[in-house]
Chains A and B, each alone.
Chain A
Amino acid sequence: MRISTFTLSRVMSFAVLGALTARQLSQGAPIVALGAAVGGAASWAPPQVIARLASMVNPGPVRAQGEGALRATVDRGFVMLVPFAVLAAVAQLALDWGAAQAFVSAALMTSGATIGSEMAGWGGRRAATAIATTASMIVLSGAWTMLSAYAVRWV
């Protein structure tokens, strides 16, 4: 199976953000490794959610562009996770700021907005597509926050 650089960057970024979120709960290596694993595994969901939503909200242009173009655009948009993962690592490891959640929220929202902006060029229901991609990332950001809060109970 061939994995693109974009896919790899998305999985790595989620793994880093997962590890940093877990590190705020406990600095033990197993917990941090588990956070990285959960983050990496969770990286599968956002592109699926955005691709399905875009197909539902703006079906004509998405069908015209094709499934491949949709996947490629979504994959490219999640490159915006990388700056936030790097800055979150620097903030927590070098500056000792425990703010991983803020970086996760901003990373997801910016990625959603970037994908919406890229798809706006396809025409059709541009505003609805932009709102749907960004709003879906708000929901996923909320899910991440709730999962983190739940994890506190058993760490």
Chain B
Amino acid sequence: MSSQSALDQAAPTEATVAATPPLWVSVLRMMADPTAVLRSRLQEVALPWVFAVSGSAFALFFLQTGLDLSRAHRASGAKVLLLTAEGALCGTVGVVAIAWVAWVICGMFGGARPLPWVVRAFALGYSPALVYSALGLVANVALGWNTAIAFGVTGVLWALGPMTAAIKLMMAQRLVVAATIVTLCGGALLFTWGLLGTGSVG
């Protein structure tokens, strides 16, 4: 085992000595330094909370898509609510599916992290998307801007950073493999949004 891998394995045990940080601290740290959170604090965040982060991020993103469409008279109130629910589903079930795909591919290349760790890492990785979506919703409602692409897509793209950090840790820092898997996973999520949110796929 390399010294880096040894550090990754040892860190969670050391971290259990420290007090569990509030979720918002983990969210902000995930934005600033995802590798540090993934190495030391990931197991401290309960599973429902990580799904709250990714589910809320996608729900707010899809809500803004609905509001943009509603402003163009292309969606009713019911359709906006349906889109929001689809977003929540995408941010929970969809993220688990993407994490599973990444876990399987990484496993084929020798990745050695358990599936629950990957799910936690991917879901909490949507911290930047949550912050961006929240800011976008404020701009959408208060200023009447169309924000789905400007804030929503940007937020989802920012989540590729933490996703890369997670895959790098799984793949013993093999950046090229991580970049390839991130392209597939990021593309799948953007296509899902295009299909469900805007109907612009197919």
Residues of A within 8 A of B (CB): 76-77, 79-80, 82-84, 86-87, 90-91, 95-99, 102-103, 105-106, 109-110, 113-114, 117, 120-121, 130
Q: Is the CB of A76 within 8 A of B179?
A: no
A110-B164 Cα distance, complex, nearest whole Å: 9
Q: Is the CB of A82 within 8 A of B35?
A: no
Indicate if B43 sits at the interface (CB-CB under 8 A): no
Residues of B within 8 A of A (CB): 4, 33-35, 149-150, 153-154, 157-158, 160-161, 164-165, 175-176, 179-180, 182-183, 186-187, 190-191, 194, 200-201
Contact A82:B190 (CB < 8 A) given known A106-B154, A109-B158: no
Q: Is the CB of A82 within 8 A of B183?
A: yes
Q: Which of B150, B157, B179 contacts A82 (CB 8 A)?
A: B179
| Min CB–CB distance A7 → chain B (angstroms) | 14
Q: Is the CB of B153 within 8 A of A99?
A: yes
Q: Is the CB of B154 within 8 A of A113?
A: no
- Chain A residues, Cβ within 8 Å of B186: 83, 87
Q: Is the CB of A97 within 8 A of B149?
A: yes
Give 7 closest A-B pairs by Cβ, nearest first. Answer: A106-B157, A83-B183, A110-B161, A102-B154, A99-B149, A83-B182, A117-B35
Q: Please indicate which of the listed interface residues B4, B161, B200 has the most CB atoms of chain A within 10 Å of its own CB.
A: B161
- Chain A residues, Cβ within 8 Å of B176: 79
Q: Is the CB of B194 within 8 A of A105?
A: no
Q: Which of A80, A121, A130 contacts B33 (CB 8 A)?
A: A130
Contact A103:B175 (CB < 8 A) given known A83-B183, A86-B187, A130-B33: no
- Chain B residues, Cβ within 8 Å of A87: 157, 183, 186-187, 190
| Min CB–CB distance B28 → chain A (angstroms) | 14
Contact A79:B153 (CB < 8 A) given known A95-B201, A97-B200, A110-B164: no
Q: List 21 A-B contacts (CB under 8 A).
A: A79-B179, A82-B183, A83-B179, A83-B180, A83-B182, A84-B157, A86-B187, A87-B190, A91-B153, A96-B200, A99-B150, A99-B154, A102-B150, A106-B157, A110-B160, A113-B34, A114-B164, A114-B165, A114-B175, A117-B33, A117-B35
- Chain A residues, Cβ within 8 Å of B183: 82-83, 86-87
Known: A83-B160, A114-B164. 13 other contacts (CB 8 A): A82-B179, A83-B164, A83-B179, A83-B182, A84-B157, A87-B190, A90-B190, A97-B200, A109-B158, A110-B160, A110-B161, A114-B175, A117-B165
Q: Is the CB of B200 within 8 A of A95?
A: yes
Q: Is the CB of B165 within 8 A of A80?
A: no
A91-B200 Cα distance, complex, nearest whole Å: 10
A109-B159 Cα distance, complex, nearest whole Å: 11
- Chain A residues, Cβ within 8 Å of B187: 86-87, 90
Contact A105:B190 (CB < 8 A) given known A83-B183, A97-B200, A99-B149: no
Q: Please indicate which of the listed interface residues A77, A83, A95, A102 has the most CB atoms of chain B within 10 Å of its own CB.
A: A83
- Chain A residues, Cβ within 8 Å of B161: 106, 109-110, 113-114
A121-B150 Cα distance, complex, nearest whole Å: 34
Q: Is the CB of A84 within 8 A of B35?
A: no
A90-B200 Cα distance, complex, nearest whole Å: 12
Q: Is the CB of B200 within 8 A of A102?
A: no
Contact A84:B160 (CB < 8 A) given known A79-B175, A114-B175: yes
